[in-house]
Structures are given as structure tokens and as C-alpha cells.
Structure 1
Amino acid sequence: KNNFEVQKNKIQLYSNQVFVTDSVEGIVPEFLTLLHGVLDSPDIPLNVSRSYLQSDSNVKKISSHISKKVSDRLNDIFKESRDDFEKKWDDLKVFIEYGMLSDEKFYDRSKDFFLLKNTESKYFTFEEYEKLIKENQTDKDKNLIFLYTSDIEAQFSFVEEAKSKGYDVLIMDDVLSTPLINQLEQKFSDKKFVRVDSEVVENLIKKDSETKKELTFDQKEELRPVFQAVCPEVTGTTFMVDFQDMGENGNPVVITRSEFMRRMKDMSQIQSGMSFYGEMPDSLNLVVNNAHPLVKRVMDRKDKTLGTALEKFNTELSGIKVEVDKLEKAKEGKKDEEVPQADKEKLDDLNKTVSELEEKKKLKLTDFGKKNKHAKQLVDLALLASGMLKGVDLDKFVKRSIELIR
């Protein structure tokens, strides 16, 4: 695990230039224990225990005074030399983030000079950034959406998709970004942080609903096994296939990760009490764009290849389901003992037949999917864009690409 470990005991406490201790927990603000340095105070007695130090009023004053002096000085630098402050920001950021997370008063004093950095390497205060994105990144529920990437290279295609919509994307890529995001969302009830690969670009910022051409339930149920069949088998990872109209110019297939589950897994890396989430399998969404011409080609090929067989399955299933509905309706309002045993047995037999037919139908569709090179190619393109296509699968993709281009 990539646990965040704080190295302490690097600050030494002196009294009139005489060493007292290097155990400064509770004396120096928590976030400054990351630093190396020396503190010298005439108000601290020499022969004292660590517990005495932590309870002594003078020592407590030192801690709060240091925190205030640090925040005041940072604020002065920010106001007096914004350019210089921005140049130092990437080095200062982790200390300030840690301070905001561990010291409520420091958070209150630092929120006005805390900087957000976007993918264009421009820096903004919270207030400045809100003004920048308010018009274009407010969702239908009046929430202001802060889009971000945790790895601009790995999530490049998602970043570009977001920017093509006119959205701005922040870079939040250090070990404290996830807990900081959680804190900021608690502080700002009308603001949400959404990673660019957590949804297809159309759903990153939900606007008033537009008319979309959605597949029927039956169409989805017939197409799902086709694409499920060509999803990679990765230990500890499951793929959930879904369908959405993303426009004929959108990507044919996109892989997204749930914002909530990914955050919980990120938190499990730095917070031992959340190890449960870290041990859960990854759940990825494979979103198929049913409006894309290449997806329509797969659908058409499915209908031409399996049309007759699927129609036979559907006709037989439809007839049986009519009988099931009649028997279910006859049961309404009756106690279990009032339903004839013959009807119970017939209903069980019919439901069993339905399950068997649906399984046979699914196997037909799965077999078609495994043999369909275009379906596999579309899924592999999505995997490639997400940085998940490697080794043997990448080699097969390259060879298949050459074959399809010929």
C-alpha cells in the first residue's frame, strides 16, 4: 500500500540555546513536523518531561503562535509577491494541505491564499476560480462542479474531452488531494469535485436533460452480452456494460470509474481504518455509445447473423411470459395455501424454462461477441485510452488493427 507516512522528530526544541527535546508532537503544529528546524524559547524549563511540555501553557502558546505566524507570513508573501508565491506553490502545497486538514484555525487563515492549479499551469484562489467556471460549470441543481485530473498523462483523453466542451480542468495529483477534496466538499455544500474519468463527458456536469436516442430495454439486453464477451478478464476488476447516446462524433466506447468508489479506495491507502475499500474489487463502467456508426455496425451485424435465432427465442419467451403473468395475476390477493399446488408447480416450471431460454440466448450473443473483431477493437481502443491495454492484449490489438486496415 502507498500509505502516507509522516517523518517526525526532525525539529529540535531549545531553551536559551540548551537542547530540551526533539519530541515536539503537541508542541509544534502537526503539519510543520514534516520540516527540519530548531526552536529556541526562554520560557521553557530544562529538566521537564515530554508530558509536562505538552500540558504547559507556554508550550501550547508556542504551537498556536507558530501556526499563526506561518499563515500570516504566507499571506504576506501572497499579497506582496503573487508571482513569487506561485513559483514556490508546488513545493509549499503539501505542507499547506496538511495544515488545512489537521488544523481548523490554519484552514480558516489559509483558504484565501490557497491556490488551485489547472492543466494550463495557471493558478487561482478559490474565489478567482469560482468566477472563472461559474457560467459553464454549474449543473442543473446549481452545484458548481470542479473538474480535476489526478494524472494528466494517464487521463489525457478525458482531459481533452472535457476541454473540448469548454470546461476547465484542475490538477490534483498529490497524496493529500483526496482527503482535501473531501474536506472542501464538506466546507462548500454547493460545490462538487469530479474527476474527469469518473463519467462520460456528457455526464460530468449534468445540465437540463436533452433529447437522446436511448436503446430499449430489450435492445440493451441483447447487446450487453456482445460487449461483455470482449471485456478483459482482470483479477480483482469487474466491468459493467452500459449504453448511452453520446452523439455520432463521440467516442464509441469509454471506460469510467465511479467517483465515490475510487475516492474510498484512495483514502484506504492513507487511512488504515478504511482498508475494507482497498480490498474491494475495482468496478469499471464500460459505456457504449449507441449513436456511434461503428457501434451501429456491430448491432447490424448481430441482427443479420442472429436475427432468426433471436426472433425464435423472443417469440417463445414472449408466449411463456404471458402464461407466467396470468398465473401471477391469479395469485394476487391470495394466501400461499389458497393457491392450487398445480398452479405453483406450473409457475415454477415456466420460470425455470424462461431462465434456461434466456441463458441459451445469452450464450448465442456471447459467442457472437467473442467472434466479432469490431466489438473487440472498440473495447480495446477504450482500454488503450485508459492506459489499461498492455502485454499480450496490446500485441493482439496491434496485429488486429493491421488486419482490419488492410
Structure 2
Amino acid sequence: MEASVQAEKGQLSIHTDNIFPIIKKFLYSDHEIFLRELVSNAVDATQKLKKLASFGEFSDELGELKVTVKVDETAKTITISDRGIGMTADEIKKYINQIAFSGAAEFVEKYKEKEDTRGNIIGNFGLGFYSSFMVAKEVEIITKSYKEGSEAARWVCDGSTEFTIEAADKTDRGTDIILHIAEDSEEFLQKYRLSDILEKYGKFLPVEIEFDEKIINNPNPIWTKQPSELKDEDYLAFYKELHPMSEDPLFWIHLNVDYPFNLTGVLYFPKLKNDFSAKREKIQLYSRQVFITDEVKDVVPDFLTLLHGIIDSPDIPLNVSRSYLQSDSNVKKISGYITRKVADKLADIFRNDRESYEKKFDDIGLFVKYGMISDDKFSEKAKEYCLVKNIEGKHFTFDEYTAKIKENQTDKDEKVVWLYASDVQKQDAYIQSAQKRGYDVLVFDSVIDPHFINGIEYKLEKTSIKRVDADTLDKLIEKEIKLESVLSKDDEEKTKKLFEETLGGAPKLTISVEPMPTDELPIVITIPEFIRRMNDMAATSGQKSMFGDMPTMLNVAINANHPVTQKILKAGEDEQKQLIRHAYNLALLAQGMLSGSELTAFVQQAAARL
């Protein structure tokens, strides 16, 4: 039987008298962390007892195992209680008085041959208990070891290097940590404040946590289970637990790996609805079911930070306060693994249920396209199942679409041109013109598409991607459309000169006279492709266009075969100018470039002609 506890006083075994100010000011960035650390310690003590029972080293009844948090606003105390392994007086001296000695680390080392205990034990650095002095002017420990014949002990410290240890009146095993809250930390005596902290850090701790007579956590979240144990309803229910107000996700990925690192979790693909600005702090990082952070950019590739869910890994390196990540080779391996799992999941859905994949691609496409322009390894896999959609709503892989275009080419080695619209309504006239000539038009109207087009064009062999209104159609597809001009060369030069003189005050224009079908507009205005792309990318990046509201360069193609052109040549000087300006404004309107007072004046002039 262990000797009776003798009252004594002593000095904490540390190398500086200033350790507590250091802990209070520098070790933890947020004082609320104290509750996470103390509750985690209590969970550890409980998990250790369960392990000992499984090893046959504890044969008594386990009874109800839960951690209880209580607050007494009158006494100004917070008490964290468990029915775990407890401590003897000697163990208090070893684990509490020797600052930074981790009992968790020692336990894992002692029983490492039994089985893998690491995944169940939270503590690591041995400093968590001392976070209590960030909010408490005095801390009591009343504890009784699970060991037969042990006496209860009481340890008290006021935040200095002195402590008191003596016998205590406690009959049940386990530990009570009693914090006497300091005046500057009395906010933590409010129940709603403690409830918020417990909800944040302890929502999925592996032992039941009771606060205010309610169990506040889910000890067995789905990521701790095998995928074979779960149904779709389980994943959807868990998603609602994480995001109660959200629509059901598109699908999910269950992460479960134990070599070369331990990693579990569930990642959900939400319905983004083309909202690339969606909040990105929806993936939470846990370590052994303890919340660490929702800043996961080092663990999850940037293009996947739009996903929702949870990642849990004991192998992700944390700083000493367990508040943020420390980058190392494991982090890169984990990031690569997550990328590979996402790529494989998307490929699997595409191959096995293409119809469903296509229906979801408006949402999935944001992830896929973003990944292709930001991650080369992902891009190599994703080009097999990244889809493009045409005006009719049909989907194609890159290879399928290239083959479709080549069907209409006599020279199969000729360069392929993908025509696309970024705004189907505004570019309708140009789309109709292309379709009348037998050309297909894709739709690239998501917020990521301007960057995506630039990113993939150089990866596609012998392929050029151009917007349907970026130039006249014969130039876009880089081959002659055999149309003859009804104008003589002299009339073409005269027409060009009339337009240059009349539109001289407009932005910089490149004016040409070209033979086009008579059902085209009398004037076709286009923006050079490279300028339009830079403007589009600037807009999606939240930047002001480098060319302001109106581009400084416009291509103005005059339809030599249109009756209006011939009418202009035959008209008097004043009527010529009126017709030219009217046709020019009509072309601006078709491009969505006519607004404000100019639009009002155009409408009034058109009304006057009725």
C-alpha cells in the first residue's frame, strides 16, 4: 500500500522564475485555449483508463466515463472533472511540477508494444495544464489514482513557482481541476462563453463532455468509422450537423489512410452555383478529434479550399500550443494525397455515372477548372474528365470536342479553333452568325473561365480558343469564307475613309471593309482577343480593367455587301454621317457597349425614324 500523503511545500522544477508570464503572454495566442487544453487532458485521462482496462491492467468497473465542466459564478470558479486514471502525490510531482513533462508521451512510450495508443491520446507537449494560469489566479487539483490503495491528493498553486500538496478527501478515482478565475478573465464565468468554446474545440471529442447538464459533443463522428459501416444517409446527416442551413452536397470523399501517415476525414463538394467568392473556411483541421484550426491552406491545395468537411491527423505538425501548423514534409505528402483522392473520386464518378456527372458539372467544374490551372499533377488527370458545354447544352471532353470540330475539316491536321460565348444573351447575334455557317459555339460563362481559357490553351495541341465576338468570323476561324464584295476597290476605300472621318472622335479604331453575308449587321465591332482576355481576367480578380470602362482599341468591320453600306455611299454628306453614326451605335449596342446618354440619344433617334 502506498504511504500516506505528507503535507509539504516545494519549488516547481523549472529553469526560470518567469515561466508563467511567458506562458500567459506568448505560448497561446488566445486565452480561451485553456478550456480546450484542460478538457483534452481530462479526455486523455479517461482514454488511458479505457486502454488499461483493455490491457487487463484495470479490472474494476469503469462505470460512467464522461468529462464534466461546471461554472460557479458566485464562487468565481470553473471545474473540469473526469473519472479517468487520476494521479498519486508522486505523479503530481512528476507530471505537474516538472513543467513540459508530458504524461501522454510517457504513456504512449510505455505501452507502445501493446498496440497503437498514439491515436487515442491527445496530449503531447505537457504544457496544456499551465494554460489554466492565463485565466486563473489560483488552480487546485484534487485527484485520486485508479491504483488500488492510493490516497487522494490536493495540489494548489497561485501562479508563482510555489505549490502546496497535501492529502485530500476524495473517494472516487479521477481528477477535478478547479480554476479560481482572475478578475481580468471573468468573461469566462459566463455560461454562453464557455458553451461557445466547448462547441468550437470539443464538438467531436472522443469522450462525452457534459456542460450545464447536457452532453455537448458527438464522441463518434463518421470520420472515425470505416466507410463500409456508413450509408449515404449517415454522410448527409453529418453534413447537416456541420452546416445546418446548407443544401445537400453533390457528393463526398471519405479519407482513411494509415501509411505513410495517419489521416482520416470527410470532404464534401458543396453546390457553389458559380459563386467563386464562397467562404473558404469550411474545412476544419482536427488532431485526434480536437479542433485545431480552419486555416488549412498548407494541408489542402488552394483549389480545394472551397470544399467543406473535416480532416483529422495526429501526424500534422503543430506548434507547441497546438494552435497552428508547422510546415514539413508530412504536410506536403498529406496535401498530395488529398489531391490524388479528389482526382480519383472525380474520375470514378465520370466513368461510372457520366450522366450524373454532367448534370453536376456546373458546380464540379469550378473545382476541376481551378485545379487544372493551379496544380499540374491534378491537371494531368483532370483533362480526361474536364468537360466543355456547347450552346445546345451538350457536354464533351477535350478530345471529344476536338474530334467533333475536325469532322467538318477537310484537312484533319489543320489547327482547331474553339469558338465560345461568355454571355449567351449579349453575344446572341454573333452566335447566330456562327451557327448559320455551321460552326459550333461553346459556353464559357463561369467566373473561373477567363483564367481557365488562358491556362489550358497552351496545353491543347494545335488548338486556339477565341470568343465568338472577338473578330469577324472569317478571321476567327483563320480561313477564307469565299464571299465576293459587291463594292469596287475604289468604293471600299471611299467607304473606309467616310467612316474614319465621321468616327474620328471615337476611341482608337481599326476600320476595315470586308465582304460578309447580307444578313449580318452593317457593322461588326469586335475587341482584339488579347485585350478582351486581359480585361476579363482583371475583372474576375476584382481589379479595374486596365483600359477603363471602354477599351482603347476596337476593330470595326464594315459589311461591304450590306444594303446600308451601299445606301451610305449614295447618300448626301449629312445623311451619310447620320447613317454611319446610327450603324456604329447599333454595332456598339450589339456588343453591350452603348450606355448612358449615348444609349438615350440612340433610342430617341431610332424613335424619330419611325
User: What's the TM-score once normalised by structure 2's chain length?
Assistant: 0.50
Equivalent residue in structure 1 for 2:584, among 358, 379, 382: 379
CA–CA distance in structure 2, aligned partners of residues 393 and 279 of structure 1: 14
Q: Is the partner of 1:34 in helix, strand or coil?
A: coil
Q: Which amino acid aligns with 1:376?
A: R
1:290 to 536, 560, 563: 560
Q: Displacement of 1:178 after TM fit? A: 1.7
Q: Which SS does the other structure have where 1:269 is aligned? A: helix
Tell whether the 8 Å contact from 1:11 to 1:22 is kept in structure 2 after alignment: yes
2-side partners of 1:49 and 1:222: how far apart?
A: 79
| Larger RCO, structures 1/2 (Cα 8 Å, 6+ apart) | 1
- Matched residue, 1:250: 520
Note closer, same or farther for the CA distance 1:140–1:64 as it changes in structure 2 (3 Å cut).
closer
Tell whether the 8 Å contact from 1:215 to 1:290 is kept in structure 2 after alignment: yes
Cα distance in 1 for residues equivalent to 2:412 and 2:347? 36
CA RMSD in angstroms comes to: 3.3
Cα 1:399–1:264 shift into 2, 3 Å: closer
Corresponding residue number in structure 1 for 2:338 = 66
Residue 40 of structure 1 is aligned with which of 301, 307, 312? Answer: 312
Deviations 1:157-197 (A, max 9, x none): 11111111111111111222122111211112300001000
Deviation string for 1:248-281 (max 9, x for gaps)?
3432111111111111222333569997566994
Query: Residues 278 and 266 from structure 1, CA distance in 2 versus in 1: closer, same or farther, beyond 3 angstroms?
Result: farther
Is 1:162 aligned to residue 434 of structure 2? yes
* Residue 84 in structure 1 maps to residue 356 in structure 2: yes
User: Residue 183 of structure 1 aligns to a residue in which SS?
Assistant: helix
Q: Work out whether residues 138 and 205 of structure 1, in 8 Å CA contact, stay in contact via their aligned partners in 2.
A: no
Is 1:132 the counterpart of 2:404 in the alignment?
Answer: yes
Q: CA, structure 1 residues 244+149, in 2 after alignment: closer, same or farther (shift >3 Å)?
A: same
Q: Which amino acid in the other structure matches residue 377 of structure 1?
A: H
Partner of 1:93: 365
Deviations 1:28-79 (A, max 9, x none): 1111112332101132355458999453232222111100100101111111
What secondary structure sits across from 1:254 in the alignment? strand
Count of aligned residue pairs for this structure pair: 335
Distance of 1:93 and 1:241 partners within structure 2: 39
Contact 1:258 1:284 in 2 (8 A): yes
Stretch of structure 1 that moved more, 395-404 or 33-42: 395-404
Native 8 Å contact 1:10 1:35 kept in 2 = yes
Contact 1:11/1:37 (<8 A) preserved: yes
Q: State how far apart, in whole Å, the 2-side matches of 1:48 and 1:149 are.
A: 53
Which sits farther off after the overlay, 112-121 or 124-133?
Answer: 124-133
Q: Is the 8 A contact 2:371 2:378 kept in 1?
A: yes
Larger deviation, residues 28-37 vs 75-84: 28-37
Letter in 1 for 2:467: R
**Alpha-carbon separation, structure 1, partners of 2:304 and 2:584:** 47
Asked if 1:262 is matched to 2:467, the reply is no
SS in 1 for 2:556: strand
For the residues of structure 1 that align with 2:579 and 2:344, how far apart are their CA atoms? 61
SS of the counterpart of 2:558?
A: strand
Q: More strand per residue: 1 or 2?
A: 2
Change (3 A) 1:8 1:139: farther
Moved more, 129-138 or 208-217: 208-217
Is the contact made by 2:568 and 2:576 (CA closer than 8 Å) also made in structure 1? no
CA distance in 2, matches of 1:203, 1:138: 18
Q: Distance in 1 between matches of 2:358 and 2:547?
A: 36
State which of 328, 352, 371 in structure 2 corresponds to 1:56.
328
Task: Find the aligned partners of 2:421 and 2:595 in 1 and give their Cα distance.
Answer: 22
Q: Counterparts of 2:453 and 2:560 in 1: how far apart (Å)?
A: 34
Letter aligned with residue 72 of structure 1 = D
Query: Using the alignment, how far apart are the partners of 2:556 and 2:587 within structure 1?
Result: 8
Q: In the aligned structure 2, how far is the partner of 1:141 from the partner of 1:80?
A: 33
1:188 matched to 2:468? The reply is no
Q: Which amino acid aligns with 1:284?
A: L
Aligned partner letter, 1:166: G
CA shift for structure 1 position 395: 4.1
Matches of 1:228 and 1:27, distance apart in 2: 58
Paired residue for 1:17? 289
Q: CA deviation at 1:370?
A: 7.1
Cα deviation, 1:78-101, whole Å, max 9, x if unaligned, reads: 111111111111111111111111
Query: Is 1:240 aligned with 2:517?
Result: no
Maintained 8 Å contact 2:513/2:558 = yes
Aligned to 2:220: none
* Range with greater deviation from structure 2 (116-125 or 280-289): 280-289
The alignment-based identity, stated in percent, is: 44
- Matched residues in 2 for 1:248 and 1:391: separation? 30
Give how far 1:139 is off.
Answer: 8.5
Unmatched tracts of structure 2, length 5 or more: 1-275
Q: Deviations over 1:12-33 (max 9, x none)?
A: 2111101233332221111111
Query: Within 2, Cα distance between the matches of 1:19 and 1:7?
Result: 19
Report the equivalent of 1:347.
Answer: none
Q: Distance in 1 between matches of 2:485 and 2:588?
A: 25
Give CA deviations for 1:327-357 in whole Å, capped at 9, x if unaligned: xxxxxxxxxxxxxxxxxxxxxxxxxxxxxxx
For 1:187 and 1:166, how far apart are their aligned partners in 2? 26
Preserved contact between residue 318 and residue 326 of structure 2 (Cα < 8 Å): no
Matched, 1:179 2:179: no
Q: Is contact 1:149–1:171 with CA below 8 Å preserved after alignment?
A: yes
The separation in 2 between residues aligned to 1:186 and 1:111, in whole angstroms, is 13
Q: Does the 8 Å CA contact 2:298/2:335 hold for their aligned counterparts?
A: yes
Distance (whole Å) between structure 2 residues aligned to residue 80 and residue 400 of structure 1: 59
Counterpart in the other structure of 1:363 = none
